[in-house]
Chains A and B, each alone.
Chain A
């Protein structure tokens, strides 16, 4: 993942209040969230710098009010940022005119919302075709494309239903289909499954993974559910009070929390299910005998770790050994359950 980032943001600030620009300009360095609040302003996003690479799935995590939704709305310029810069495909989105911004959204971005954001007066098909209609595609073309996406999300036969006639899960499928209709490069999902009950949520996550395997989009996914984040993420960014506390792979976040807050956040996580063999492998000693797969989690290797007698177990990625895993270290992770 060393390609040029699709989204790149540097020192992004989003402050809410009476005169945010003026306030930010004269604000002293290093003010905390609470200090800013005492001045009558709310720091929705606080000095965030992040990159999202092509094809990557970045999950932004945090409790409600931590600024994750605000941040993602800055990426799509639904919010105007107060300071810093955001580039999408190398282009500074803050310098775009209204027309250019509309073009960008019409061709490159799709977004899924927590409470679906469907238009109540339009049928499933009309909702899905909405972005196509907005960019002026002709009726038959957009109908054909909409039917295709509706089929992709498994809502065939419901094209003529109205949103209120559908269940929550089905409504979100419409939301997903709509966001995919224009074949976006970048896909924003703002807590898409939070409004759904747990069983449906699981099903929708599977569905989402299937779609992602099929389409391979660049994704920014917001959730407050750590399990969901772990299931889906390439990288996780944990936010608190508008700032990103840590942005790293799930393994690193549970193994090496950057701050006290992140440590507390990950405390209850069953680390053995998150940490992969490849992360534990070091090149110093490779060890002997049969290697284990780099993509296996410590949990997967539990039996082997307990029964094996080697000190160092080789780890292989696609058949080639990339290093050795210290068995005691792995056992530690397996046994220290939060």
Chain B
């Protein structure tokens, strides 16, 4: 009550309204820009002079070294590495026959595929069984079994670790408010920190290769598990808890017998997110020399072998879709009772079938070696043929003309001028512009944060690269909006198309970001526009999704009221649906920007001049301080948008009485 009444006061009570304040900031920024163009602005106001830039990297390095050597963190992490190594060796032995304990692997691919099929059947019937078994059969037949299993061997260690740590921290945060208060800011920074920043510390503390890969993957996947756990525990119905209390539960019993089982749905959603993030990250750990699907894809794309890249892309996508569908099916799977007198084997049918299939195929593999392992040449890879096909397609006159035109026109006429314009703005002017944006949408607090964050970026000494990063993000999101919003609006018109497009978006969202590079490189080669293109398709997914969701969730009485008021379709859209859907769409817009910041760093692989490029370079060395400065620059810019847009969306929702 108090909040809603305070709202209008806040808006009218101030003499300096937010739009007017924003306008003043923009005005000052324009004056600065004009001065610069007239050549009157002192150089110190155009860019922060080198001499003033504090040595953040050096300081960070000193801190790291202190923690690493003097506090003995390195000893601890090296010890953890040993343990982790033991686990990874075991899974590696089982999955692809690395010569380590327990030396019984590799498990025949047919056995794994069969067990996956049985689990798929249990979770989601025949289609799921087909998807699960089919994915593994495809992987084996296309000749990627070993690299896929290298990836999986890390995944099966990282995902459970992330689950357990996330669950534990989630419970702690839910129990102890101070843990919650401490974790929240860390989590929001972690979620905007570019993934490259996870990689280098992992390498330094946990050696190169699978262990570092597993650590980076685990850490990357923990935040959503924490969030889902606390969310689930908070949502447990008070009556269920009271029932537990009245049954005489001790605190421990209450947690394990009442809270955790009742929060099952949210916890399993967390599991789904953990698995998906692990997969996305484990592919990216290729950048720190982790062998597997990612490394192979990186190598193939690097040598422009598009056919093979495409095949690996399909494997990754299939794995992603399979893991996503299976874990989601597990979320909605509800226990069902058996009639009295059901025999044991029937109650545990899945277990029996899986064990049976496993044993059967292991035995078959003893007789027919192909059922155990496929040899080097025994695969159906069509890499070369596909290569030619793709090259042939790109050589078709019309296609070539289109991509050529896009490359030339968009790049030369729009993108490069925009980039040069951004670079020509004096640092303080750009900071003011961002602050104005934050003030207008968010409010005074957001504006202060924006100023603070961007000033820090300016002081980091990486301003130009940051601006180029920002340019890639903004232009890609702008184009994504031009394409995505109309698609969303049109799709939202009918139930059928909404569902179809949402399904496409849901599926696309499960793809590890890395695969988005494949079509970009295919179409545009290694150019700036390929970077924009890969970001663009990645960022379009949340835009379309939230547009459809926003429009579809407009209360029916309101559209009916508009109909009865005699609104045309256009009027209804502009006057009723869009204003009401805007807060939700803003959430999508925000996510698009976050995705873009994420993707722009990965796209550095293609060869950009932004922060991502520098970040990637640090991976080769031990330049931890610089790595962090760069990572934090990206995070600060992303956080500015995140804070501002989400604030606006929430304000707007409150104002409209939604939620």
Assuming the A-B contacts A115-B237, A118-B240, A130-B257, are A162 and B334 also in contact, with contact meaning beta carbons closer than 8 angstroms in the complex? yes
Question: At the interface, yes or no: A178 with Cβ under 8 Å from chain B?
Answer: yes
* Inter-chain contacts of B253 with A (CB < 8 A): 134
A134 touches B239 (CB 8 A): no
Chain A residue with Cβ nearest B242 = A78
Q: With the chains together, A175 CA to B253 CA distance in Å?
A: 19
B262 touches A135 (CB 8 A): no
* Inter-chain contacts of A134 with B (CB < 8 A): 247-250, 253, 257
Q: With the chains together, A312 CA to B247 CA distance in Å?
A: 54
Q: With the chains together, A182 CA to B336 CA distance in Å?
A: 27
B242 touches A113 (CB 8 A): yes
**Contact pattern, B 97-140, Cβ under 8 Å of A = 1, otherwise 0:** 00000000000000000000000000000000000000000000
* Inter-chain contacts of A121 with B (CB < 8 A): 261-262, 264, 335
A131 touches B240 (CB 8 A): no
Question: At the interface, yes or no: A261 with Cβ under 8 Å from chain B?
Answer: no
Q: With the chains together, A161 CA to B339 CA distance in Å?
A: 9
Q: How far does the Cβ of A44 sit from chain B's closest Cβ, in whole Å?
A: 14
Q: With the chains together, A261 CA to B244 CA distance in Å?
A: 36
A160 touches B239 (CB 8 A): no
**Contact pattern, A 90-109, Cβ under 8 Å of B = 1, otherwise 0:** 00000000000011011101
Which chain B residues numbered 226 to 249 have a C-beta less than 8 Å away from chain A?
237, 239-240, 242-249
* Inter-chain contacts of B334 with A (CB < 8 A): 162, 164
B243 touches A109 (CB 8 A): no
* Inter-chain contacts of B339 with A (CB < 8 A): 160
**Contact pattern, B 199-216, Cβ under 8 Å of A = 1, otherwise 0:** 000000000000000000
Question: At the interface, yes or no: A154 with Cβ under 8 Å from chain B?
Answer: no
Chain A CB within 10 Å, residue with most, of B242, B243, B246, B247: B247
Chain B CB within 10 Å, residue with most, of A78, A134, A160, A188: A134
B335 touches A73 (CB 8 A): no
B261 touches A117 (CB 8 A): no
Chain A residue with Cβ nearest B249 = A134
B337 touches A110 (CB 8 A): no
B248 touches A117 (CB 8 A): no
Q: With the chains together, A120 CA to B239 CA distance in Å?
A: 13
* Inter-chain contacts of A160 with B (CB < 8 A): 337-340
**Contact pattern, A 116-128, Cβ under 8 Å of B = 1, otherwise 0:** 1111111100000
A117 touches B338 (CB 8 A): no
> Count the A residues whose beta carbon is within 8 Å of the partner chain — how many?
37
Question: At the interface, yes or no: B258 with Cβ under 8 Å from chain A?
Answer: yes
Q: How far does the Cβ of A93 sit from chain B's closest Cβ, in whole Å?
A: 13
Which chain B residues numbered 330 to 361 have a C-beta less than 8 Å away from chain A?
334-340
Question: At the interface, yes or no: A249 with Cβ under 8 Å from chain B?
Answer: no
Chain B CB within 10 Å, residue with most, of A107, A117, A160, A162: A117
Q: How far does the Cβ of B268 sit from chain A's closest Cβ, in whole Å?
A: 12
* Inter-chain contacts of A73 with B (CB < 8 A): 242
Chain A residue with Cβ nearest B251 = A98
* Inter-chain contacts of B246 with A (CB < 8 A): 76, 78, 105, 109-111, 131, 179, 188
Which chain B residues numbered 308 to 339 have a C-beta less than 8 Å away from chain A?
334-339
**Contact pattern, A 153-164, Cβ under 8 Å of B = 1, otherwise 0:** 000000011101
Assuming the A-B contacts A134-B253, A162-B336, are A105 and B245 also in contact, with contact meaning beta carbons closer than 8 angstroms in the complex? yes
* Inter-chain contacts of B239 with A (CB < 8 A): 113-117
Q: How far does the Cβ of B256 sit from chain A's closest Cβ, in whole Å?
A: 11
Assuming the A-B contacts A78-B245, A111-B242, are A120 and B336 also in contact, with contact meaning beta carbons closer than 8 angstroms in the complex? no
Chain B residue with Cβ nearest A157 = B340
**Contact pattern, A 163-175, Cβ under 8 Å of B = 1, otherwise 0:** 0110000000001
Assuming the A-B contacts A117-B242, A118-B240, A178-B243, are A162 and B337 also in contact, with contact meaning beta carbons closer than 8 angstroms in the complex? yes
Chain B residue with Cβ nearest A99 = B250
Assuming the A-B contacts A109-B246, A131-B248, are A117 and B337 also in contact, with contact meaning beta carbons closer than 8 angstroms in the complex? no
* Inter-chain contacts of A131 with B (CB < 8 A): 246-248
* Inter-chain contacts of A102 with B (CB < 8 A): 248-250
* Inter-chain contacts of B250 with A (CB < 8 A): 102, 134
Chain A residue with Cβ nearest B337 = A160
Q: With the chains together, A105 CA to B250 CA distance in Å?
A: 11
Assuming the A-B contacts A105-B248, A134-B248, are A123 and B337 also in contact, with contact meaning beta carbons closer than 8 angstroms in the complex? yes
Q: How far does the Cβ of B235 sit from chain A's closest Cβ, in whole Å?
A: 13
Q: With the chains together, A119 CA to B246 CA distance in Å?
A: 13
Chain B residue with Cβ nearest A133 = B257
Chain B residue with Cβ nearest A175 = B243
Q: With the chains together, A328 CA to B152 CA distance in Å?
A: 91
Chain B residue with Cβ nearest A160 = B337
Q: With the chains together, A60 CA to B337 CA distance in Å?
A: 38
* Inter-chain contacts of B237 with A (CB < 8 A): 115, 117
Q: With the chains together, A114 CA to B262 CA distance in Å?
A: 18
Q: With the chains together, A131 CA to B237 CA distance in Å?
A: 18
* Inter-chain contacts of B264 with A (CB < 8 A): 120-121
Which chain B residues numbered 247 to 281 have a C-beta less than 8 Å away from chain A?
247-250, 253, 257-258, 261-262, 264
Q: With the chains together, A304 CA to B633 CA distance in Å?
A: 93
* Inter-chain contacts of B336 with A (CB < 8 A): 162, 165
* Inter-chain contacts of A175 with B (CB < 8 A): 243
Which chain B residues numbered 376 to 402 have a C-beta less than 8 Å away from chain A?
none
* Inter-chain contacts of A113 with B (CB < 8 A): 239, 242-243
Q: With the chains together, A2 CA to B237 CA distance in Å?
A: 40
Chain A CB within 10 Å, residue with most, of B243, B250, B257: B243
Chain B CB within 10 Å, residue with most, of A78, A116, A119, A135: A119
Q: With the chains together, A165 CA to B334 CA distance in Å?
A: 10
Q: How far does the Cβ of A333 sit from chain B's closest Cβ, in whole Å?
A: 40
Chain A residue with Cβ nearest B261 = A121
* Inter-chain contacts of A119 with B (CB < 8 A): 240, 243-244, 257-258, 261-262
Q: With the chains together, A188 CA to B262 CA distance in Å?
A: 23
Q: How far does the Cβ of B247 sit from chain A's closest Cβ, in whole Å?
A: 4
* Inter-chain contacts of A117 with B (CB < 8 A): 237, 239-240, 242-243
Within 8 Å by CB of A130, from B247, B262, B335, B340, lies: B247
Chain B residue with Cβ nearest A181 = B247
* Inter-chain contacts of A165 with B (CB < 8 A): 336-337
* Inter-chain contacts of A103 with B (CB < 8 A): 248
Q: With the chains together, A69 CA to B246 CA distance in Å?
A: 15
Q: How far does the Cβ of B6 sit from chain A's closest Cβ, in whole Å?
A: 15
A178 touches B247 (CB 8 A): yes
Q: With the chains together, A131 CA to B338 CA distance in Å?
A: 24
* Inter-chain contacts of A118 with B (CB < 8 A): 240, 243
Q: With the chains together, A117 CA to B249 CA distance in Å?
A: 14
* Inter-chain contacts of B261 with A (CB < 8 A): 119-122
* Inter-chain contacts of B243 with A (CB < 8 A): 111, 113, 117-119, 175, 178
Chain A residue with Cβ nearest B338 = A160
Which chain B residues numbered 414 to 436 have a C-beta less than 8 Å away from chain A?
none
* Inter-chain contacts of A179 with B (CB < 8 A): 246
* Inter-chain contacts of A115 with B (CB < 8 A): 237, 239
Chain B residue with Cβ nearest A165 = B337
Q: How far does the Cβ of A164 sit from chain B's closest Cβ, in whole Å?
A: 7
Chain B residue with Cβ nearest A113 = B239
Q: How far does the Cβ of A159 sit from chain B's closest Cβ, in whole Å?
A: 8
* Inter-chain contacts of A76 with B (CB < 8 A): 246
* Inter-chain contacts of A162 with B (CB < 8 A): 334-337
* Inter-chain contacts of A133 with B (CB < 8 A): 257
Chain B residue with Cβ nearest A132 = B247
Q: How far does the Cβ of A40 sit from chain B's closest Cβ, in whole Å?
A: 10
**Contact pattern, B 585-598, Cβ under 8 Å of A = 1, otherwise 0:** 00000000000000
Q: How far does the Cβ of A99 sit from chain B's closest Cβ, in whole Å?
A: 8
Q: A109-B246, A134-B247, A135-B248 are in contact. List 7 more A-B contacts (CB 8 A).
A: A78-B245, A117-B240, A123-B337, A134-B249, A162-B334, A162-B337, A175-B243
3 closest pairs, A vs B, by CB? A106-B248, A117-B243, A131-B247
What are 7 A-to-B residue pairs whose CB atoms are below 8 Å? A78-B242, A113-B239, A115-B237, A122-B261, A134-B247, A160-B338, A165-B337
Binding site for B on A (CB under 8 A): 73, 76, 78, 102-103, 105-107, 109-111, 113-123, 130-131, 133-135, 160-162, 164-165, 175, 178-179, 182, 188
